[in-house]
Structure 1
Amino acid sequence: MPKKSRERYPQNWSDIALVVKQEVNWQCSKCGVQCIRPGDDTKQLTRSERMALTLTVHHSNFLPEDNRRSNLCALCSGCHLSFHTRRRGNLSPGQLSLF
């Protein structure tokens, strides 16, 4: 039986993802949008706007076990979703907001 998607990520995934996001100054590597940083005041944003401005980390080869820096890129939620809807990856689009 295959592992659940979440189990395929290392225990220190949050730390790995944080470093990737910091390296790009919290900007999407594809579209360049400035995303929300920890501590930013988001009270004026709607839930949808907050979701759209959330920076995620994408595995270019769609393998969450492969955490080499060259395989990771920071993407806003919309760009990340576009990668997963065009190619079947390790997560379904509805799961992207969980990470």
Structure 2
Amino acid sequence: MNRTRYSKDWKQIATAVKDAFNWRCSRCSRFYLRPGEKPSEQTLSQRRVYNLQVHHYNFDPSDNRRENLGCLCSGCHLYYHRFGRGNISPGQLSLFQSNGA
């Protein structure tokens, strides 16, 4: 039996969060391709290494409250988990603003 703490609609939730963050990493501000977009200069291996993920700030994958979710690229996500911290607090999630870059 395959047990997971992620909800059945996790893909839809994750896509909605990525859309809300304009497909940008909250930590390093790198932009990522939306589904169906064509890559410009990235190789396939670069796209696999650098992908946008949705992170649960309280480390509980069953807690999908909006204030608990944020977007991190794979590198920043790994850094966050490795050191158990990050530079974004859950209270900052609704304050995300694009700097026009």
Whether the TM-score (by the shorter chain) exceeds 0.5 is yes
Aligned-partner Cα distance in 2 for 1:6–1:57: 20
Aligned-partner Cα distance in 1 for 2:44–2:83: 25
Q: Which moved more, 1:43-52 or 1:25-34?
A: 43-52
Q: 1:48 aligns with which of 36, 45, 61?
A: 45
Structure 2 equivalent of residue 83 of structure 1: 80
Q: Given that residues 27 and 74 in structure 1 are in contact (C-alpha distance below 8 angstroms), is that contact kept between their aligned partners in structure 2?
A: yes
Structure 2 equivalent of residue 67 of structure 1: 64
Q: 1:6 to 1:20 in 2, by over 3 A?
A: farther
Deviations 1:28-87 (A, max 9, x none): 011100012111213853233102331100000100011100000011111111111113
Q: 2:11 aligns with which of 10, 14, 18?
A: 14
Segments of 4+ moved more than 2 angstroms: 42-48
Identity within the alignment, %? 48
User: Unaligned 5+ residue runs, structure 1?
Assistant: 88-99
TM-score (norm 2): 0.73
Structure 2 equivalent of residue 29 of structure 1: 26
Count residues in correspondence.
84
Q: Given that residues 54 and 76 in structure 1 are in contact (C-alpha distance below 8 angstroms), is that contact kept between their aligned partners in structure 2?
A: yes
User: Unaligned 5+ residue runs, structure 2?
Assistant: 85-101
**Structure in which a larger fraction of residues adopt helix:** 1
Q: Report the Cα offset of residue 6 of structure 1.
A: 6.2
